[in-house]
Structure 1
Amino acid sequence: MLAVVTGASGGIGRAVCHRLSADGFTILAQYHTGTEQAEKLAQEIEASGGKCELVSADFSEDSGVRDLCQAVDDLFEHDPELELGALVNNAAKLLGPSFAEARPVDFDTYFTVNVKAPFFLSQQLLLRMRSGGSIVNISSAGAHFSSPGDIVYSMTKASVESMTRNLAEHAAASGVRVNAVMPGFTDNGHPAFALAAVQEYMSSFAVLGESPTRRQSQRRSLFSLPIERSARPARSLMSAVAAHSERAATAEDRLPICCHILTEHECLRF
């Protein structure tokens, strides 16, 4: 079974690749500029007995989606028995400009990478996906609180959630689940996480204070949700998962499933 993961060279995408490989998926890992990190990811997965193929694709250009879809088709041609079972739309441009500083070119680039690319990638790969497959869109808690200093990024993630809600109904006819995961501040190696001012800003949104360090994030959880100091998934807010597929039709249905996903990192099982 094939899983396509975008933005796979670091952070959440990297952790998702490792988890899905452990679950038996063949990984097609998309990256853009992080060649060294992507190659290391593939080496790690293959050293543990898994399979990982890499594809470089620039989602700021329309060719990026075409390149990734072509890579999927090439794998199918090489192995006709391989089926597409999962797509994780994780790649995104982070830390967008403020309302006062945003330029039209910034606005267009963020929406192209964060919204347009996952939209058309989902459109194309849904046609190639088996019944019973799953599309998971990585959103952000930033879509749910006021952050004028990061407004463009936050707007893109709100759009991703709207896309998820609408696509879930469309994809249900094909037997494919579509859901969104909303992690909080997660240290993915971005230089900003080393800045005291940024840490202080992020901590202002955490119920119990400071945002977790990068080491804590890597050791304790895939998604460091902004609810406590250590952001342990076992205490995560249940609203951290937007379960839009009809299989999770009621709040009562969602809660235990969401808790399981956040504690076990199994994004594709809800």
Structure 2
Amino acid sequence: MTSTLNDKTALVTGSSRGIGRASALGLAREGALVAVHYGRDKQAARETVDLIEKDGGRAFAVGAELGTPGAVDQLFHQLEAGLREHTGETALDILVNNAAATTLGDAPEEVSAEQIDEIFAVNAKAPFLLVQRALGLIPDGGRIINISSAVTRRAVPPQIVYAMSKGALDQLTLHLARHLAPRQITVNSVLPGITDNGSAVFQIPEAREQMSQLSAFKRLGEPEEVANVVVFLATDRARWITGASLDATGGSLLG
């Protein structure tokens, strides 16, 4: 445990696995109290909390299925209760918008209107509503970190709707960075490349090899490598960075 985020509080959405879990662990190791959000898998979120506590950190779980009616209110009801229980107040210093939904590799011609609505509800609308709700809790000097994607910079037709939604998230970063600058609140995006989040596809050797070739280092990214960028942006060391999109792709965008 270190102390760069002592007395800070954080909410990481979608932190029951992958980049979200690694980010929650990283923030807790720096001293932050972390609200571990999950959509459906309460047990996985509990495992994240247990990992943090075994490491000497502090955390609690909050559950809400983002993209559904009332989810933001449900999440913040639990968040504020948890913050009061642990700190006596409801200040939220760091918000990490990580939770996301993705398409299943459908060709653009095959994407339904319902799929578009579902993806945008989770990846674009929910982060906007979360920030909107959180601004009453975030003190001056706070941090908002949006997890975007390398597909906003690279053409991947089967991921067109996902890419569009993450492009919208990048616009949220840009405009909020200007809007919140008078309060010294920084807003930044992190762009991961292909990162091994434990999904079934990463267990297939041929798929791993093919995906590895996209990185300049010819390997897959690890969640902790992206989380390190998130943690950096959450600290005072990144106070002069705002409105930025940080490439955490392992050189996948170099061409």
Q: TM-score, normalised by structure 2?
A: 0.81
Instruction: Find the residue that maps to 1:100 and give its secondary structure.
Output: helix
- Partner of residue 25, structure 2: 18
- Partner of residue 44, structure 1: 51
Instruction: Find the residue that maps to 1:166 and give its secondary structure.
Output: helix
- Partner of residue 248, structure 1: 241
Aligned runs of 1:1-270 on 2, under 5 Å?
Answer: 1-78=8-85, 79-81=87-89, 83-96=91-104, 97-195=106-204, 198-199=207-208, 202-203=211-212, 205-207=214-216, 209=218, 211-212=219-220, 217=222, 221-223=224-226, 247-248=240-241
Instruction: Write the distance in 1 (CA, Å) between the matches of 2:146 and 2:88.
Output: 27
1:209-239 CA distance string (max 9 Å, x none): 4x42xxx726xx4239xxxxxxxx99xxxxx
Q: Any gaps of 5 or more consecutive residues in structure 2?
A: 1-7, 230-237, 251-255
Q: Any gaps of 5 or more consecutive residues in structure 1?
A: 225-232, 235-244, 264-270
Instruction: Write the distance in 1 (CA, Å) between the matches of 2:45 and 2:242.
Output: 37
Q: Aligned residues, how many?
A: 233
The verdict on how the C-alpha distance between 1:28 and 1:108 changes in structure 2, with shifts beyond 3 A counting, is same
Q: Are the aligned partners of 2:186 and 2:241 in contact in 1 as well (CA < 8 Å)?
A: no
Moved segments of 4+, more than 4 Å:
none
Q: Please identify, of 145-154 and 94-103, the stretch whose mean Cα deviation from structure 2 is larger.
A: 94-103
Q: Are the aligned partners of 2:80 and 2:90 in contact in 1 as well (CA < 8 Å)?
A: no
Q: Please identify, of 103-112 and 59-68, the stretch whose mean Cα deviation from structure 2 is larger.
A: 59-68
Question: What is the Cα deviation at residue 100 of structure 1?
Answer: 1.9
Instruction: Write the distance in 1 (CA, Å) between the matches of 2:214 and 2:155.
Output: 10
Instruction: Find the residue that maps to 1:223 and give its secondary structure.
Output: helix
Instruction: Write the distance in 2 (CA, Å) between the matches of 1:71 and 1:93.
Output: 22
Question: What is the Cα deviation at residue 86 of structure 1?
Answer: 0.2
Q: TM-score, normalised by structure 1?
A: 0.77
Question: What is the Cα deviation at residue 73 of structure 1?
Answer: 2.1
Q: Are the aligned partners of 1:172 and 1:246 in contact in 2 as well (CA < 8 Å)?
A: no
Identify which of structures 1 and 2 has the higher relative contact order when contacts are C-alpha pairs closer than 8 Å and 6+ apart. Answer: 2
Q: CA RMSD in A?
A: 3.0
Q: Are the aligned partners of 1:90 and 1:137 in contact in 2 as well (CA < 8 Å)?
A: yes
The verdict on how the C-alpha distance between 1:71 and 1:121 changes in structure 2, with shifts beyond 3 A counting, is same
Instruction: Write the distance in 2 (CA, Å) between the matches of 1:129 and 1:43.
Output: 26
The verdict on how the C-alpha distance between 1:33 and 1:249 changes in structure 2, with shifts beyond 3 A counting, is closer
Question: What is the Cα deviation at residue 128 of structure 1?
Answer: 0.9
Instruction: Give % identity.
Output: 32
